[in-house]
Amino acid sequence: MSLLERQRPWPNSVNSDLAASLGDPNFPKILTGTLQGERIVRYQQIFTDYSRLGISKTYDRPIAVDSLQRRLLRAWGVRGGFGVFDDHKSGGLLCRSLLWCRGADMEDRNLEKIKFPEHRSIPAIPSWSWMAYAGSIDYFKPEFGRFDWEPIGRPWTDDGVGSNSVALTAKARRCSYNATGNSFKGHEDMLVFDRADYECGEDVFCAVLGIEKGDALPSQKTHYLLLVCTTNARNIDGLPIYHRIGAGFLQGKFIKDGGFIIAIY
């Protein structure tokens, strides 16, 4: 059993709770009074199960998920979109939403970008959304209460409606570690790329999402990351445009100091 599988509190098979929850006439009202930790566990379970459902046309995935997502956004009174939730408070809800990765059951298979037909009026889906890919996903699960969350620029406005841009903004830092979903060292470091054949090279940068609390040296603390690479383009604000290529966690000693602001599309 892999490290990622040991992080999952539910089985790899599609959980029957998904059908039960979606068929409940009180869903998602039954989740309105729950604590944030339970909400996180529940939506992650729903989305991981949903990613394993057989949909005949992969380009229907975002449309099929959208109505469920809208119900959750309304019930919880939070912002978000593209499979991500954000309460604009500690940052934990948003950052945990972004910590999805290629499913443990994908083995050596890649997450493939969905090709949408030209005649379908589907808005551009950013690379940081699991809804842009075909294949199963899992989530990394940092222990509750043990991490401080880094500021991330959001693409939605104060009223919760998406802006004209779908970009997240964050600080990119260089990281260096030879670890993939099939090669990791104990419980201290793990990177899972969206493509199984990807390696951590000079073109790989990271946006730090969460840093372990405590008195340990920064070099020894666990950092949860969004892995990105450049597109060699800039947006209208002059920020370099990067795309998501994976997620994971590393000790701080593998992450370079400094960095620069990027837009993740």
Burial label for 71, CB within 10 Å (0-12, 13-18, 19+), is middle
Give tens-digit pLDDT for 72-92. Answer: 898 888 999 999 999 888 899
Q: What is the pLDDT of residue 67?
A: 81
> What's the CA gap between 102 and 193, in Å, rounded?
7
- pTM here is 0.85
> What's the CA gap between 167 and 190, in Å, rounded?
26
> Is the separation of the CB atoms in 131 and 113 below 8 Å?
no
Poorest-pLDDT segment among 25-34, 69-78, 103-112: 25-34
DSSP 185: B
Q: What is the pLDDT of residue 56?
A: 65
> What's the CA gap between 104 and 2, in Å, rounded?
8
- What SS3 class is residue 9? coil
Residue 251 is which amino acid?
Q
Task: Please give the angle made by the CA atoms of 168, 217 and 199, to the nearest 5 degrees.
Answer: 50
Q: Exposed e or buried b for every residue in 211-221, given b needs 16+ CB within 10 A?
A: bbeeeeeeeeb
Say if residue 2's pLDDT is above 80: no
173: nearest Cα among 206, 218, 149: 206
Say if residue 121's pLDDT is above 70: no
> What's the CA gap between 41 and 38, in Å, rounded?
5
